[in-house]
Structure 1
Amino acid sequence: MSRRRDGSSSSTDDEIVTSEEGIRTLSRLMMMDDADTEEDISEAFMSDKSLGHKTIFMFPAIMEIRQQRAKVVAIGPYNHKEEMLYFGLDYKWQILKLMTQGFQLDTGKFLGNMAKKELELRNCYEEEVEDLYQMATKDFLQIMLLDGCFILFALKCLDGKNQSSFDTVELFLSKFQGLGNAIVIYQLITNVKNLVSQLEMHRESVICDLLLMENQIPFSVLQELLCLCPDFRDFVGSSIKDLALSSFKCVRPKMNKELSEQPEEFLHLLDVFHWSRVPEDKYKLIDNQINNQTMPGVSMLRATEFHHSGVRLKRKKSGSYLDVVIKNSSSKKDCVIKVPAIDIKNYQFSIFESLVTFEERYEKRGVCFTAFVECMASLLGSENDAKLLQKCGIIPKDTDTSDDYVIKFFHQLSHCIKPVALMPHPYEGYKSAVDRVRETVEKSKATEARCWFRF
């Protein structure tokens, strides 16, 4: 049993709303106890700082060279006032109508369950943002509902199976045949064709927008939606993580086939993407970090400087695309730096921005992307460095981006990274390898270091 603003009771938990007006009305219900008001919830939220880390936040001022924000879709409370993007509220209401009519989503129960977790959900967002505190419960829950449905629908339409939009529409329509209402089926067919075709036209931009830091919503919202919509769960599968990874196949850097053991729970889609790209045993090494200690005197040389010192640069052919390995072998009397192939697309800058920002503000996920950015910025000091890496096969010769763009890509990102006093394992191996390269090509001791972390 839930209560409206006027205090009248409404038994909506078990209802399935099928009309658009019904959905709008339902989204405005206040799912709280008699003693609770919006002011009570706001006050409790402002005073409670113990619920955990802020894992979703606005773009920080430290990264001043922001090139772009969302291009086609705004997600979450930070961007709820955006009206100029392609997939706006009308589009999201159509998806919600599809989920309720075609897949029997229990919106009443979803809103009731989310109301009970409102403080927890709000606490995922950065506390300094005033608009978030002032947002009414009904508006906050409506955002979670509309944007959560959009994300699930978009991930299904844009998964990496390379099927045509026609095939995707046919898959959806096959689920509607048992509804029995010809008018409803006709409306659903028309809506699905329109919704899928528009997403297909903006595939790359949608995926990139879904990976922006301030465009995240808590992963638990998506899980709750899928739990309360069994017909859609049967359609897309029970794993949001697998559905997301399939949709991310078109995005660089590519997924590491040797995945780390996943965290106990994912925070949001950006967290899933981050986990799927980092080195295999990255999570195991986080506990080995040396905290509150600065290790001076560690720096990379430029690619040409390594080359002139007799160090061989080779393209790394396996493992993570962020794992730069320095090997110093006494038996072969040489030093090798293995660097993964750099395949930079024009959209990647905004994704790297979000990933580096996420690592800076949420330390539990390590700093693998940050370390890779700083490492590449050190290697790529000039066009000669870029040409050398191109000669080694690290930068593809047929890339659409110029050497100058590749250099600026990493340097612009590295200039925005806030220094931290952390030095993770294996510091000694890395420092030894670099120091010996500077002194002489002759090696007296075998060492190896991997640039997974910031140094």
Structure 2
Amino acid sequence: MSNDDIQPVDGDQELVDEISTTTETSNDDQELVDEWVVEIEGRLENPDNSHATRRPSMDSNLEEYPSIIGNWQCWDDFGASFIPEHLKWIFVASMTHYFGLNVRSYIVYMQEKVDLAWSYYRGVDQFRTAENNKRFIEHLLVNCCFLIFSMILLSGEKELKDSWYEIINKDNPKGLSDKDIQNIIDFITREPNQTVSYLLTMNYQIPWFLVEAVYTELSNINKLFAPPIHKIAYLFCDGLPPDYFNIIDGDYTVPEDGFKHLLHIFHWSRTPDEKYVHNLTIQKWFGDFHIPSATELQLSQTVFIKDEDGTIMSYSDRRVMQLTPWELYNYSPKLYESLLRFEDLYFIRCGYLFSSYVTCMASLLQTEADVRVLRANDIIPSTSFDDKNVLRCIQELKT
């Protein structure tokens, strides 16, 4: 499918014209953009063979660099064990066909914003070459499309999903069959909790400003769906534990300086009403934190009560300890690890809400006997995690 077949949405052409008049673009640069557009459109017309034109990987011997929002070199084999290679470009092909995403507009936009996108990562300055910029921009294109499709399909909003199905049932992008489109839906919805938690892990995060741009400026998708993209993200995260800490109820607020990425939205939606604590004097005191174990407290006649109102832990003079339930499913450890990493990187702005909860539970759960005590009081609900695995999980998170 050629971009000539796609009419730019309102604002796309103005964006291109504005950039063209405010930057000096040489003929050579324009030819490179033209070649790049043709290359990407070739992938869109035959997504199954997109791996044949994939750019070579970066040096595979590079060590993992810590970053603001995850492992930056995850673009090389993005979710290889989770997302089949050929499906990556199907999402882009579908976005261009159904929702008017203009490849040229995207490239022009990202050439202006690539430094901003890189700034969301740490330890990558030496790798910001022209070739890696191209790979980075393509990586963000693929993953933005996948993320937006997933959020719509798993938002839990019937009207939103019905509108999406109505659009994609009209016809198919060039090179894609009904089976290909159904594969997209099946892939995302087969195990929704696993998909949601995967997209919330630290290694997946991408700059939220780009997700917003693809949803609004660079496509017409926001003209077809009423909710703003951050509200869809709220709905997407709804129902996934940890679902305590005063979940918002119809109040789809946004922090003053905006969201950084999807994990940021997930964390924001699970904080108390006062939201993030802006306190530069806050100290990371959790390493020295200690309370007796659950069995020790039980011997001292402490009674444990499940608290679902957002209290991490409260302890009264009557020896009653109220605790938020510790929910563990197959996808929970990776998600909880991501929340801890998020708070570690952003603690000045968001506090240690989840970190303090993990520290509290790690002190209470020192042995399998401690797990049994809290399980008997329904503070650790029954899941596929046995006592040994519950203990191992909390202690690994603590470290």
Shorter-chain TM-score bucket reads 0.7 to 0.9
State the match for 1:87 in structure 2: 83
State the match for 2:56 in structure 1: none
In structure 1, which of residues 165, 172, 175 is the aligned counterpart of residue 167 of structure 2? Answer: 175
CA distance in structure 2 between the partners assigned to 1:243 and 1:375 by the alignment? 33
CA distance in structure 2 between the partners assigned to 1:386 and 1:393 by the alignment? 11
2:376 is equivalent to residue 385 of structure 1? no
Listed as ranges, the matches of 1:304-319 within 5 Å are 304-319=295-310
Query: Does the residue aligned with 1:175 lie in a helix, a strand or coil?
Result: helix
> How far is the alpha carbon of 1:124 from its aligned partner?
0.3
Counterparts in 2 of 1:392 and 1:350: CA distance versus 1, 3 Å: same
2:324 is equivalent to residue 340 of structure 1? yes
State the match for 1:113 in structure 2: 109
CA distance in structure 2 between the partners assigned to 1:219 and 1:188 by the alignment? 31
In structure 2, which of residues 98, 101, 117 is the aligned counterpart of residue 102 of structure 1? Answer: 98
Contact residue 244 and residue 324 of structure 2 kept, 8 A: no
In structure 1, which of residues 196, 203, 208 is the aligned counterpart of residue 185 of structure 2? Answer: 196
State the match for 2:13 in structure 1: none
Greater helix fraction, Structure 1 or Structure 2: 2
In structure 2, which of residues 70, 79, 89 is the aligned counterpart of residue 57 of structure 1? Answer: 70
Contact residue 364 and residue 370 of structure 2 kept, 8 A: yes
State the match for 2:360 in structure 1: 375
Query: Does the residue aligned with 2:259 lie in a helix, a strand or coil?
Result: coil
Query: Does the residue aligned with 2:242 lie in a helix, a strand or coil?
Result: coil
CA distance in structure 2 between the partners assigned to 1:300 and 1:176 by the alignment? 55
CA distance in structure 2 between the partners assigned to 1:81 and 1:395 by the alignment? 36
In structure 2, which of residues 309, 313, 327 is the aligned counterpart of residue 325 of structure 1? Answer: 313
Q: TM-score, normalised by structure 1?
A: 0.66
In structure 2, which of residues 99, 122, 142 is the aligned counterpart of residue 126 of structure 1? Answer: 122
In structure 2, which of residues 156, 163, 184 is the aligned counterpart of residue 160 of structure 1? Answer: 156
State the match for 2:350 in structure 1: 365
State the match for 1:43 in structure 2: none
Counterparts in 2 of 1:408 and 1:236: CA distance versus 1, 3 Å: farther
**Paired residue type of 1:194:** N
CA distance in structure 2 between the partners assigned to 1:82 and 1:219 by the alignment? 18
CA distance in structure 1 between the partners assigned to 2:177 and 2:136 by the alignment? 27
State the match for 2:136 in structure 1: 140
> How far is the alpha carbon of 1:248 from its aligned partner?
2.5
Contact residue 43 and residue 89 of structure 2 kept, 8 A: no
State the match for 2:333 in structure 1: 349
> How far is the alpha carbon of 1:382 from its aligned partner?
1.8
In structure 1, which of residues 260, 266, 273 is the aligned counterpart of residue 259 of structure 2? Answer: 266
Counterparts in 2 of 1:108 and 1:314: CA distance versus 1, 3 Å: same
Contact residue 289 and residue 359 of structure 2 kept, 8 A: no
Give per-residue Cα distances to partners, 1:154-206, cap 9 Å, x unaligned.
1112223589xxx95x64352268x8xx7759957554223112222243332
> How far is the alpha carbon of 1:379 from its aligned partner?
0.7
> How far is the alpha carbon of 1:318 from its aligned partner?
1.6
Q: How many residues align?
A: 350
Give per-residue Cα distances to partners, 1:219-276, cap 9 Å, x unaligned.
0010000113554224444422222232223532125444396422111111111112
CA distance in structure 1 between the partners assigned to 2:38 and 2:226 by the alignment? 24
Give per-residue Cα distances to partners, 1:387-428, cap 9 Å, x unaligned.
2212222123x433212221211111112xxxxxxxxxxxxx
State percent identity of aligned pairs: 22
> How far is the alpha carbon of 1:292 from its aligned partner?
6.0
Contact residue 278 and residue 368 of structure 1 kept, 8 A: yes
Contact residue 92 and residue 146 of structure 1 kept, 8 A: yes
**CA radius of gyration, larger in:** 1
> How far is the alpha carbon of 1:122 from its aligned partner?
0.2
Q: Which runs of 5+ in 2 are unaligned?
A: 1-19, 46-65
Q: Which runs of 5+ in 1 are unaligned?
A: 25-52, 59-75, 416-455
State the match for 1:41 in structure 2: none
Counterparts in 2 of 1:221 and 1:350: CA distance versus 1, 3 Å: same
State the match for 2:214 in structure 1: 225
CA distance in structure 2 between the partners assigned to 1:310 and 1:290 by the alignment? 37
CA distance in structure 1 between the partners assigned to 2:287 and 2:333 by the alignment? 29
How large is the Cα RMSD of the aligned pairs?
3.6
In structure 2, which of residues 35, 42, 47 is the aligned counterpart of residue 21 of structure 1? Answer: 42
**Paired residue type of 2:117:** L
**Paired residue type of 1:20:** E
Counterparts in 2 of 1:358 and 1:132: CA distance versus 1, 3 Å: farther
Q: TM-score, normalised by structure 2?
A: 0.75
